[in-house]
Structure 1
Amino acid sequence: MSVDFGKAAWQIRTPGGGISLRVSRRTVAVGIPVVLLTIAVSVMALASGALEISVEQVLRAFTGTAESMAQTVVMEWRLPRVLMAVLFGAALGVSGGIFQSLTRNPLGSPDIIGFNTGAYTGALLVILTMGGSALQIAGGALIGGLLTALAVYLLAYRRGIQGFRLIIVGIGVSAVLASVNHWIVLQAELEVAMSAAVWGAGSLNGISWEQAWPAAAVIAVALLASVFVVPSMRTLELGDDAAKALGVRAEPVRIALVVLGVGLTAAVTAAAGPIAFVSLAAPQLARRMTGSAGIALLPSALVGALLLAASDFAAQRLFSPIQLPVGVVTVSIGGIYLIWLLAREARKS
């Protein structure tokens, strides 16, 4: 890998030039504090709880030299939740960035256009009909999300895809699927319905390594694959005609981006339920912080990780010893953000 240092950006190339990425200095300047804040929130989450543990003991737990109880609490009970909050937040940030880039609209995130809801439908059907291991739920969520994306894509397709039409169709499909989800829960046995309802709010409570690994594997593959499609995504933002002139096949690239975005959303939904508004807010916050003209996936991932890690920490500590689903916090924050965004878009028009 080689790095060229320019005045405004750093060019990173892999051997043979297969991948070439530009990372602006502003992105690095914003990204480092965001990463440090995420680490600080994560350490606080590992240290706090019913059993308070010092920061020193938390750090020693990573080297295996902490006290026995502290070692168990940090590494087995709290670390999966903290790591998954960071990883899921990054996944949702990238997913939101992909769809906002495709639709060229700040409202074009998977939770607004129905892909979260479709993934939840798939996971619900697996839980209620098959019992559902972590791997089965992940598969159901992925299939549900992809089928929803296919339905929205086909319904919105008119000699190509326009962002606003995709959003409107997605909102309609999401409303239909939300009704289906409510009906499914009402048909279930009481205990299963209550469990599904809590999980449906989006929760990291009680997440374990067993639940985390399947989702983490899917997310890792999708994030790696997204590196290869970033240049084509940038070209698509210029419009289909310009993309074709530059040698980019618009529809295959668009379909690949949809699959990646849905895969990221479905993996999170399978493990933690549909966590709303992170994918909506993270890319726009990142764009404003970096001052970039379009959506950048790396800053979106970093901001998404911080948002979900901080929201989950708040969900644990605000009403302690009661632990809220993290989705309650993200919905509260995201609702305010959505109102501001809608008001801003209304003033523009």
Structure 2
Amino acid sequence: MIWTLRISSLLLQISRQGVLTGLGLGIVLLAAAGLALATGSYPLSLAQILGVLWGDGSPPQQMIVLDHRLPRILTALGAGAAFGLSGAMFQVMMRNPLAAPDVIGFNAGASCGALCVMILTGGMALPGAADLLISSMDVLSAADMAQWLTGSLSARTWQDAVLVWSGLAVLAPLALWLHFPLARLAMDDGIATSLGLPLTRLHLAVTATGILLAALAVSTVGPLPFVAFAADPIARCLIPGGKSALLGAAASGALITLLADSAACALPMVQLPVGVFTALIGAPLLLWLLAAHVRKGAI
């Protein structure tokens, strides 16, 4: 069933199944966030969490929820959404489900650039990774950077959450504005040109927006592997018709990141970087897509 919404001269067609899928993803995200707030080395009940959010609760509970878990969850959701948007934009533009910022190398480049800034300024706000540069650092900083290279949400603060969501507030509307012409890029270049699309300018706009989204996510959580790559294929499986949808990819990226971080926090006696678990999710998907392309003769 298709719903038609008219706003002035703008006509929008909305699929009921698409709306229900979006609502379902939203509910799953809220449930995952609630689970992440409740679980960990210091479990909390729903009543305790609600008490803290309403201004009650003991000082240890307030510290755990407000200073540790909540900014970490918000950072995970924001960075995952940025990765998902970036990956979907590159995959649609290149007409290649195997394309993504981490596969192309943009994430590694952003990490290296962040590390250079950190070394030059002596700060720790923008950690990054490149083995040659790490070797020039002291032992403790090098160990932190090596962990961050895999992707980490450890010790995220409100500053990180504000950074990633402020960036999304600027870049997400631009990405959504590009969604209509971006969907037309799936056509042949000749057809797209005949429809009046300025392909060169559109490619530049999509590339710049995708790179900025990837850089935003990398600057807060590191180069999480496979989140940008896996978000859009997962969204295509959930959305009617198997079409790419940026909002679905953003929600899928946020969910992958949050679930991977929850799994990392749930391990007893050890704290593995969240990137280990995103790789466990993304690597099998990469192999499956490669096998599918081989069967189709696309590779």
TM-score by structure 2 length? 0.92
**Equivalence for 2:261:** 312
**Equivalence for 1:248:** 197
Residue in structure 2 matching 1:329, options 242, 265, 277? 277
Say if 2:2 and 2:13, in contact at 8 Å, map to a contact too: no
The CA distance in 2 between the partners of 1:337 and 1:33, in whole Å, is 22
The CA distance in 2 between the partners of 1:22 and 1:221, in whole Å, is 25
Residue in structure 1 matching 2:41, options 50, 60, 75? 50
**Equivalence for 1:281:** 230
Deviations 1:173-214 (A, max 9, x none): xxxxx9xx2222223222221111111110001000123322
Does 2:105 align with 1:114? yes
Say if 2:87 and 2:229, in contact at 8 Å, map to a contact too: yes
Say if 1:35 and 1:306, in contact at 8 Å, map to a contact too: no
The CA distance in 2 between the partners of 1:76 and 1:100, in whole Å, is 37
**Equivalence for 1:269:** 218
What 5-or-longer segments of structure 1 have no aligned partner? 1-6, 142-177
Correspondence 1:71-86 to 2 at 5 A: 71-86=62-77
Say if 1:92 and 1:304, in contact at 8 Å, map to a contact too: yes
Between 292-301 and 224-233, the greater mean CA deviation after superposition: 292-301
The CA distance in 2 between the partners of 1:129 and 1:188, in whole Å, is 11
Correspondence 1:118-197 to 2 at 5 A: 118-132=109-123, 134=125, 137=126, 181-197=130-146
Does 2:265 align with 1:341? no
Residue in structure 2 matching 1:24, options 10, 15, 21? 15
**Equivalence for 2:184:** 235
Correspondence 1:95-106 to 2 at 5 A: 95-106=86-97
Does 2:16 align with 1:8? no
Question: Which residue identity lines up with residue 16 of structure 2 in the other structure?
Answer: R
**How much has 1:12 moved relative to structure 2?**
6.5
Aligned residues: 297
What is the alpha-carbon root mean square deviation over aligned residues? 2.0
The CA distance in 2 between the partners of 1:111 and 1:233, in whole Å, is 20
What 5-or-longer segments of structure 2 have no aligned partner? none
**How much has 1:247 moved relative to structure 2?**
2.0
**How much has 1:22 moved relative to structure 2?**
4.1
Question: Which residue identity lines up with residue 287 of structure 1 in the other structure?
Answer: R
**Equivalence for 2:248:** 299
**Equivalence for 2:60:** 69
Say if 1:77 and 1:208, in contact at 8 Å, map to a contact too: yes
Distance 1:23 1:254, change over 3 A: farther
The CA distance in 1 between the partners of 2:136 and 2:230, in whole Å, is 34
Say if 2:100 and 2:228, in contact at 8 Å, map to a contact too: yes
Deviations 1:275-296 (A, max 9, x none): 0111111100110111334311
Say if 1:201 and 1:274, in contact at 8 Å, map to a contact too: yes
- List structure 1 segments (4+ residues) > 4 angstroms apart after TM superposition: none
Does 2:180 align with 1:257? no
Secondary structure class of the residue paired with 2:99: coil
**How much has 1:224 moved relative to structure 2?**
1.5
The CA distance in 2 between the partners of 1:89 and 1:300, in whole Å, is 9
Distance 1:12 1:223, change over 3 A: farther
Give identity over the alignment, percent: 35
The CA distance in 2 between the partners of 1:57 and 1:221, in whole Å, is 35
**How much has 1:126 moved relative to structure 2?**
1.1
